[in-house]
Amino acid sequence: MKSTLSVLFALCSLAAFDSAQTPATAKVIVPCTQPAPAGSLVPQRTEPITYADPSNVVVMEMESQEPIGDWVEESDISGFGGDSYFRWNGPNFFGTPNVDTLTFNFEVSKAGSYVIRLHVRHDNPDWTEGNDCWVRLDKGTWLKLYHNTGPGSVGVWSFNAVYDGTNLLPIHDLSAGAHTWEISGRSTDFIIDRIHVVPIDVFQAKLSDPQSDVLRARPIIGQTMKVEIDDPQDTFGLTPGVARTAWYAGLPGHGYPCGISTVSGELLITGPGGGVRLGAFKTWMGPGQPNVHKVNIPSNLDLVGMTFITQAVMVEPHTVLYGEGLELTIGDI
């Protein structure tokens, strides 16, 4: 018997593949004529939290982390981005990095040279004090990063923190894919608001740039693609513990991204029997308790560049209802 994926891939058109790297994508499709519950089918968020760069810039707010140890979250001083900033409320650790370390995971879609710019501030009247932290990239060497351009740098927000010893902004060559930026306390009362990872040809960091989206599961060859199916606002009024969810895939329906209107909602996919079910039905326990469905993507380069359509289905006795869809393009990154 053919595997579920073999049947699915046989339904879909294979795209030409002539690239060393093709990013995988997962795009939510909202029915056009018969609304489905918002958030009824979404890719599962990756853990640990990882930020993506759909705009070619990664922005990570400090408050996206829980403050640990002697880091404190505040919002008393205006001029920061997001909801708050972090201040190091611990003692000076001039010779001891990796204390109360905050870890920020991010991905870049393209290899290249990037500048990492921290939005920082120091308010010590002695402009040589309280102006630095420890940082490191991808588990490398801990380095002192400081903001000190003289008396005029006191009480001013800035993106111009530089490495000690070189007085240069953190500029690094990054491969496409996952990276880690870590920060630990060094000087008492040093303030950090956010982190920007910017291509060198863009260079400038803007406070108006929004925090990047959290990376979610994608259909990458050799990996597992996970989604969540739910009715978060109880739009369908199904019975918890009785209703079940399923994840189907197939070809685009007529008029895609619109689908075919039925008594069960808008069907976004077509194919034998209305598509292929990816895995088993799962019992749904109520709003805000999504079921996780998954599919293993074979490690096969011939699949890279292929696009197919999936849709959430929720059922209980005598009732079948269609949720939102996901347009998936298989990639190798």
pLDDT of the chain along its 333 residues, tens only?
234 455 455 544 444 444 468 888 999 999 999 999 999 999 998 888 999 886 789 999 999 999 999 999 999 999 999 999 999 999 999 999 999 999 999 999 889 999 999 999 999 999 899 999 999 999 999 999 999 888 888 999 999 999 999 999 999 999 988 999 999 999 999 999 999 999 999 999 999 999 998 989 989 999 999 999 999 999 999 999 999 999 999 888 778 889 888 899 999 987 555 689 999 999 999 999 999 999 999 999 999 999 989 999 999 999 999 999 999 999 988
pLDDT value for 256: 85
Count structural domains, the chain.
2
Is the peptide bond between 257 and the residue preceding it cis, with omega within 30 degrees of 0? yes
pLDDT value for 11: 47
Q: Indicate whether 147 and 286 sit together in one domain.
A: no
pLDDT value for 228: 97
Q: Indicate whether 74 and 156 sit together in one domain.
A: yes
Report pTM.
Answer: 0.75
The residue among 140, 168, 199 that closes a domain is 199
Q: Indicate whether 54 and 192 sit together in one domain.
A: yes
Number of C-beta neighbours around residue 126 at 10 A: 10
- Answer whether residue 324 is part of any domain: yes
The residue among 199, 231, 247 that closes a domain is 199
Q: Which residues pair with 331 in a beta bridge?
A: 220
The residue among 199, 231, 252 that closes a domain is 199
- Answer whether residue 92 is part of any domain: yes
Domain that holds residue 237: 4-44+216-329
Q: Indicate whether 33 and 86 sit together in one domain.
A: no
- Answer whether residue 220 is part of any domain: yes
Q: Indicate whether 89 and 228 sit together in one domain.
A: no
Q: Indicate whether 148 and 254 sit together in one domain.
A: no
Give 3's contacts (C-beta < 8 A, 6+ positions apart): none
Give 23's contacts (C-beta < 8 A, 6+ positions apart): 109, 218, 331, 333
- Answer whether residue 206 is part of any domain: no
- CATH number for position 266: 2.60.40.10
Q: Indicate whether 86 and 225 sit together in one domain.
A: no
Q: Indicate whether 164 and 247 sit together in one domain.
A: no
- Answer whether residue 268 is part of any domain: yes
- Answer whether residue 25 is part of any domain: yes
Q: Indicate whether 29 and 58 sit together in one domain.
A: no
SS3 at position 112? strand
- CATH number for position 81: 2.60.120.260
The half-sphere exposure of 267 on its side-chain side, counting CA atoms within 13 A, is: 18
Q: Indicate whether 89 and 60 sit together in one domain.
A: yes
Q: Indicate whether 55 and 195 sit together in one domain.
A: yes
- Answer whether residue 211 is part of any domain: no
Per the rule left: phi > 0, alpha: psi between -120 and 50, beta: everything else, 288 is: left
SS3 at position 273? helix
pLDDT value for 282: 98
Residue indicated by tokens 């588990």: 139
Q: Indicate whether 224 and 135 sit together in one domain.
A: no
- pLDDT (tens digit per residue) in 5-49: 554 555 444 444 444 688 889 999 999 999 999 999 999 988 889
